[in-house]
Amino acid sequence: MDKIRQTILDFVEREYKLPENVDYDTFDFVEKGFVDSMGMVQFVAILEDEFDIEFSADELLSNDFKTVGGLEKLIQKKVNKK
């Protein structure tokens, strides 16, 4: 598993283990309650520090930011632009 996906999953699974056979690409960790609003602030800071990137307000509000696969792709695009 690559570093981006592993970092996302490590944070999402801080308190609850993801169900077996979950589709990571479409799993909405916000809707399912794995990350609350306070946790999201911390999560954003961790991701920005870990990958030396910054998210725009639009990106933070996008549906891609709420799924493991969408967030992974978003981070990968930002990392590749550097």
**Percent above pLDDT 70 for the chain:** 99
pLDDT tens-digit readout, 39-48: 999 999 999 9
Quick one: residue 22, left, alpha or beta (phi over 0 = left, psi -120 to 50 = alpha)?
beta
| pTM assigned to the model | 0.89
> Could you give all domains of the chain from N- to C-terminal order, each with its CATH number?
3-81 (1.10.1200.10)
| pLDDT at residue 1, rounded to an integer | 58
- Assess whether pLDDT exceeds 80 at residue 17: yes
Question: Which residue shows structure tokens 């509000």?
Answer: 61
pLDDT tens-digit readout, 61-70: 999 999 999 9
Which H or E element spans position 10?
helix 3-12
If you average pLDDT over residues 10-14, what whole number do you get?
91
